[in-house]
């Protein structure tokens, strides 16, 4: 599942953008374990991974006839929170597996993205096209990157 939202505000040649995205990777894991008693134990569980991305940016658009040149900069924050599937034998009866899901290693990163984009509409018999080449410089901010474990 993926969900995203986008918001822009324009004032003259200035603009502000905000995006928020969420994705979940739903992984069902089924295990068949043969124990020493020759019985097969089936166990199924889910280990999901949540990913959040937030971005806020601003820019300025220079216009000349139909040529647009935009200087832009944004800050992007990403949080990835995966789950881990673990299992152990039941202490009371060795023929059963007990499983649980643990949150592990929530990874965060913050990036500063700056760049320039150029656009100019092209009219053809097939329609109007607006190519927009971009050049970006991405800097990962090391002081904000972290990994933490949840117990």
d(CA 26, CA 1): 8
d(CA 18, CA 23): 17
41 and 32 Cβ atoms separated by less than 8 Å? yes
Give me the number of domains the chain comprises. Answer: 1
**120 lies in some domain:** yes
**44 lies in some domain:** yes
**19 lies in some domain:** yes
Domain interval for residue 42 = 2-137
**27 lies in some domain:** yes
Q: Which residue has the tokens 């034998």?
A: 89
**142 lies in some domain:** no
pLDDT tens-digit series, residues 10-35: 999 999 999 999 988 776 655 555 55
Read out DSSP for 132-149? --EEEEEEE-TTT-EEE-
pLDDT tens-digit series, residues 84-94: 655 555 555 55
**133 lies in some domain:** yes
Question: Lowest mean pLDDT: which of 1-10, 95-104, 111-120?
Answer: 95-104
Please give the model's pTM, rounded to 2 decimal places. Answer: 0.64
d(CA 62, CA 65): 10
Highest mean pLDDT among 1-5, 17-21, 76-80, 82-86: 17-21
37 and 80 Cβ atoms separated by less than 8 Å? no
38 and 49 Cβ atoms separated by less than 8 Å? no
57 and 72 Cβ atoms separated by less than 8 Å? yes
50 and 72 Cβ atoms separated by less than 8 Å? no
**74 lies in some domain:** yes
Does the pLDDT value for residue 59 go beyond 70?
yes
């Amino acid at each position: 599942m993926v969900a995203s939202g986008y918001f822009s505000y324009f004032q003259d040649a200035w603009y502000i953008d905000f995006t928020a995205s969420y994705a979940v990777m739903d992984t069902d894991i089924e295990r068949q374990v043969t124990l020493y008693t020759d019985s097969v134990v089936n166990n199924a569980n889910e280990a999901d991974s949540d990913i959040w991305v937030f971005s806020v940016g601003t820019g300025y658009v220079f216009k000349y006839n139909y040529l647009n040149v935009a200087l832009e900069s944004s800050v992007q924050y990403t949080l990835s929170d995966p789950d881990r599937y673990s299992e152990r034998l039941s202490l009371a009866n060795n023929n059963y597996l007990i499983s649980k899901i643990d949150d592990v290693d929530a990874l965060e990163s913050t990036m500063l993205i700056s760049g320039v984009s150029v656009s100019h509409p092209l009219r053809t018999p097939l329609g109007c096209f607006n190519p927009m080449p971009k050049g970006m410089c991405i800097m990962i901010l090391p002081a904000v990157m972290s990994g933490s474990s949840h117990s």
